[in-house]
Amino acid sequence: ISIQYSQIPTYLQKGAFYRNLIDSDGDEEIQIPEICYSPDDTVDSLEKLQSTLQIAAFWLLDTIPTGVIKYCYENEFRLWYDAIVSKFGQKVQQFGPFAHKEDIELAFVHTLCSIFNSNSYHHAFQQAVEKNVDEVVDFLIQNSDGNKTVECARIVAYSGRLDILKRLQQNDFPWSGSACRAAAAKGHLDCLQYLHENGCPWEDELYMDASEIRCVQYAFEQGLPWHP
């Protein structure tokens, strides 16, 4: 099919293929296979999931399309995983952290599988945070009905993602002393400071968990009781 450069959908602009296109006047037409294009990333069936993944691979997208994230989150893993295997082949089954490094186009498929291979919201949240898949983290924060627990803040503090801690607070996620202890355990002073300055409680067990003296010093200077 032919499509004008200026009319390429926003979700397809987030990838290497788009960046490599030469735009001479903003109205240049490009030729792409029909099966590798859709005006939006809406996914409402297994067939649409398969086609959207193929489109994402063709355009070498940097981020997982929101429609794909939503579908995988809302549907049973085994259901859509089998559909992915049937589309991309048995090699998708080897989605370990070092599997098929040469299959760059399948990297996002491996990521999807490792994040959503459980029905647990917090498993998906932790995997997305640890793998720095921010588009999934953002989706889960915005679709957290019934899952706003202190565990989310603990996961983020342990990973040292201050930016996500701020988003959790903006979206009314609770936190507890476990978040401060997690930040101290990994030496994330910036996260520890943010938590304390924004009212997160802490406990003297933090001293035993802290991996860096600067976290201990900060807590002591801020008045956290020391019980040797």
Residue 126 domain-assigned?
no
Domain hosting 198: range is: 148-228
Residue 70 domain-assigned?
yes
Q: Are 150 and 178 in contact (CB under 8 A)?
A: yes
Residues 1 and 113 grouped into a single domain: yes
> Residue 192 belongs to a domain with what CATH number?
1.25.40.20
Residues 102 and 175 grouped into a single domain: no
Residue 103, pLDDT score: 53
- The two structure tokens encoding residue 119: 């029905």
Phi, psi of 90 (to 5 degrees): -65, -25
Residue 24, pLDDT score: 52
Residue 138 domain-assigned?
no
CA distances from 146 to 83, 111, 138 (A): 29, 25, 16
Count of domains in the chain? 2
Q: What pTM, to 2 d.p., does this model score? A: 0.88
Final residue in a domain of this structure, among 67, 100, 118 = 118
Residue 127 domain-assigned?
no
User: Residue 200: CA atoms inside 13 Å, Cβ hemisphere, count?
Assistant: 30
Residue 113 domain-assigned?
yes
Q: Could you give the angle at which helices 46-58 and 77-88 cross, rounded to 10 degrees?
A: 50
Residues 42 and 153 grouped into a single domain: no
Report d(CA 16, CA 60) in Å as an integer: 5
Residue 193, pLDDT score: 98
Rg of the chain over CA atoms, in angstroms? 21
List the chain pLDDT tens, one digit each, 228 residues: 999 888 999 999 999 899 888 655 566 888 999 999 999 999 999 999 999 998 998 899 999 999 999 999 999 999 898 888 887 765 554 444 334 444 545 677 888 989 999 889 999 999 999 999 999 999 999 999 899 999 999 999 999 999 999 999 999 999 999 999 999 999 999 999 999 999 999 999 999 999 999 999 999 999 999 876
Residues 32 and 75 grouped into a single domain: yes
Alpha helices by DSSP H, listed for 29-91, are: 46-58, 66-74, 77-88
Q: Which helix (H) or strand (E) holds 28?
A: none
Report d(CA 7, CA 217) in Å as an integer: 55
